[in-house]
Amino acid sequence: MKIRVGILGATGYTGAELLRLLVNHPDVEITWLTSEKFSGRQISDVFPHLKGLLDIECNSVRRFNDLSDTDLVFSCLPHGTSMHFVIRMLDAGARVIDFSADFRFPDIKTYENWFKSKHKYSNYLKEAVYGLPELNREDIAGARLIANPGCYATSVIMGLAPLIKSGLVIPDSVIADIKSGLSGGGRAPSLERHFSEANEGMGIGSVSGHNQKPEIEGIFSGLAGARYRVTFISHSAPLDRGILATVYSRLTGKMTISKIRQIYKMFYKDQRFVRLLDTGIMPFTKNVRYSNFCDIGLAFQEDVLVSAVAIDNLGKGASGQAVQNMNIMFDLPEIEGLGPTAIYP
């Protein structure tokens, strides 16, 4: 029997990508989807590229109280809003994969510090599993609530996790410089992402801080077994999709690059979506566009290690990873619906 899926807030970019993947997925049936803004309209009016591929109406979330025929809910709602509906869905008996940051921090204080608002569901916080399969596959399998990782966090964590876990990185030496395409900023029109403003420009995000900084720090601290801080800045580049993370770190001792590569190979053994590039090759975002791949390149510049990571911000950085989590949760082959999709040019 197919997994019966509902989607909260399906009309943004993570929703669009999720729909594309689920329409292709042999074991999924999209049962319902919500949009307050487009309630009553066909999804193919909102996304004309889906015309002929998906005939389903957007409805208000208020319509979905009885979830007896829903196995899984994806929430693409924004931070702060999502938690309320996630809880409601859980309480109605569905499992949930939440794209927002609302359940990413086991520690409620971190959440409240960064988001400047109260979090009322601390017990669920503890239950939630951070949905990075390459780290937490087993917990994901049995989870009721998945906190789907942030796109920037995914790239940085994937790029350095093997060394952090090995205890080889000097604490606080890590600088993560992110370059991201503009779909990461969402579909709501704004001056900043108006075509003639953003096109042909490179900009820099908040220096004082982004909420995915503590997300990374939390995971690294867990892996290292000690408090970890990172310097983290994101930049915007004029492209639709793609994240290139350049992660600089210093190691506790001298190591060769081939020894480091061995550590990565071991750590990512049998991970189908991780591609460790050959020595001397660095990742390029266009090679992972529209896929769930995570390409990693490693090199030293003198004594600084550079781990460069490319992912698609809506793929491995969001909806692709969510589908990967779903596959694990429902005991399906992990690549189902995420199969060979790399597209070029």
Per CB under 8 A, which of residues 212..231 are in contact with a second copy? 229, 231
Instruction: Pick the binder of a second copy from 31, 82, 285, 325 (CB under 8 A).
Output: 285
CA 306 – CA 254 distance, rounded (Å): 14
Smaller CB separation from a second copy, 31 or 119: 31
Q: Which stretch binds a second copy (CB under 8 A): 119-127, 130-138, 144-152, 184-192?
A: 184-192
Instruction: Pick the binder of a second copy from 263, 282, 332, 336 (CB under 8 A).
Output: 282
Residues 337 and 26 sit within 8 Å (Cβ to Cβ): yes
CA 254 – CA 260 distance, rounded (Å): 11
Least distance (Å) between residue 27 CB and a second copy: 15
For residue 169, give the DSSP letter. Answer: B
Instruction: Pick the binder of a second copy from 78, 106, 222, 238 (CB under 8 A).
Output: 238
Smaller CB separation from a second copy, 86 or 249: 249
Q: Which stretch binds a second copy (CB under 8 A): 45-53, 76-84, 137-145, 326-334?
A: 45-53
Tokens of 308: 């460069």
* 203 backbone dihedrals φ, ψ, rounded to 5°: -130, 180
CA-only gyration radius of the chain, Å: 20
Size of the site for a second copy (CB under 8 A): 84
Least distance (Å) between residue 215 CB and a second copy: 15
Nearest to 17 by CA among 289, 271, 309: 289
Smaller CB separation from a second copy, 221 or 287: 287
Instruction: Pick the binder of a second copy from 4, 95, 179, 316 (CB under 8 A).
Output: 179
Q: CA dist 120 to 53, 62, 303, Å? A: 39, 21, 46
Check residue 52 for interaction with a second copy (CB under 8 A).
yes
Kindly give the residue spans of alpha helices, DSSP state H, lying in 118-150. Answer: 122-127, 133-142
Smaller CB separation from a second copy, 258 or 344: 344
Say how many residues make up the chain: 345
Smaller CB separation from a second copy, 110 or 139: 110
Check residue 177 for interaction with a second copy (CB under 8 A).
yes
**151 catalytic per annotation:** yes
CA 294 – CA 159 distance, rounded (Å): 9
Residues 8 and 18 sit within 8 Å (Cβ to Cβ): no
Check residue 50 for interaction with a second copy (CB under 8 A).
yes
Name the residues annotated as catalytic.
151
